[in-house]
């Protein structure tokens, strides 16, 4: 009774009109960000990969040097925004309700509620979802994909779009390595099948392993965005 078949399901996309409008709004955001020399990082991962935890550590480390702001995307709750607000960095929470991603229009409206003059780096924490947020340009300088090493080595090949589009892969929860059967080399090989250019950073928000490399990466993106 052993049987395995491939069923390739083709679906007709109803998303083109939505994505087309999104590109226009994303370009509008991008023009604003460029004219204000704001570096915008769109952070995407599965639920529970540690986006907010890394962001809190990042803001605490950066806030004496760079002027930062945060847009938090969640289906429900403002838990994450409250954690960010505790760092004294300005933050706006977007609750998307049933929607599984942030889009450029939501970002445009959130920007009206943020003091963006003088901001060096705007972090956008997307809704926890490895799939849908990848398709929506927000006008950012770079997409950052986070992946906790508890999620297994094959995620880059199972969810290829976001891993392909990311400018850096941040592996999180490295402190758990001794307790997992996680093959880091295999994970990196899988990622390299999808993305040959992105940087790969190994981090732990608890031990601060790799935090300086992550901060250095942000500073480089900031310099690129500022044209300096």
Contact footprint for a second copy (CB under 8 A): 1-11, 13-14, 18, 46-48, 74-79, 81-82, 85, 88-100, 105-106, 109-110, 113-115, 127-132, 135, 147-148, 150-152, 154-155, 157-161, 173, 176, 179-180
Least distance between a second copy and beta carbon 97 (Å): 7
Question: Is 85 in contact with 138 (CB distance < 8 Å)?
Answer: no
Least distance between a second copy and beta carbon 78 (Å): 7
Q: Kind and range of the H or E element at 216?
A: helix 211-226
Least distance between a second copy and beta carbon 17 (Å): 8
Nearer to a second copy, 180 or 226 (CB): 180
Nearer to a second copy, 61 or 85 (CB): 85
Q: Which residue has tokens 């090493």?
A: 149
Cα separation of 27 and 30, whole Å?
5
Least distance between a second copy and beta carbon 13 (Å): 7
Q: DSSP letters along 117-159, please? A: TT-SEEEEE--S-SSGGGG---S-SEEEEEEEGGG-TTHHHHS
**Six-digit token string for 98:** 């049933």
**Six-digit token string for 86:** 């505790």
**Six-digit token string for 18:** 């939505």
Nearer to a second copy, 41 or 119 (CB): 119
Nearer to a second copy, 104 or 225 (CB): 104
């Amino acid at each position: 009774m052993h049987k395995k078949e491939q069923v390739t399901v083709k679906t007709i996309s109803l998303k083109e009109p939505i994505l087309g409008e999104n590109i226009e709004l994303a370009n509008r955001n991008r023009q604003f960000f460029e004219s204000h020399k704001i570096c915008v990082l769109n952070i995407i991962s599965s639920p529970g990969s540690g986006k907010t935890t890394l962001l809190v550590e990042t803001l605490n480390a950066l806030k004496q040097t760079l002027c930062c702001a945060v847009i938090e995307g969640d289906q429900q709750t403002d838990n994450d925004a409250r954690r960010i607000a505790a760092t004294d960095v300005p933050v706006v929470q977007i609750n998307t309700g049933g929607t599984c991603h942030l889009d450029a229009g939501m970002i445009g409206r959130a920007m009206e509620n943020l003091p963006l003059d003088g901001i060096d780096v705007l972090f956008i924490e997307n809704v926890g979802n490895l799939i849908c947020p990848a398709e929506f340009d927000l006008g950012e300088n770079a997409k950052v994909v986070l992946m906790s090493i508890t999620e297994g080595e094959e995620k880059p090949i199972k969810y290829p779009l976001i891993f392909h589009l990311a400018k850096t892969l941040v592996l999180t929860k490295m402190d758990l390595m001794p307790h997992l059967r996680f093959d880091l080399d295999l994970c990196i090989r899988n990622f390299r099948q999808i993305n040959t250019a992105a940087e790969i950073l190994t981090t732990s928000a608890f031990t601060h392993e790799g935090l300086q490399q992550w901060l250095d990466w942000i500073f480089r993106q900031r310099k690129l965005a500022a044209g300096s």
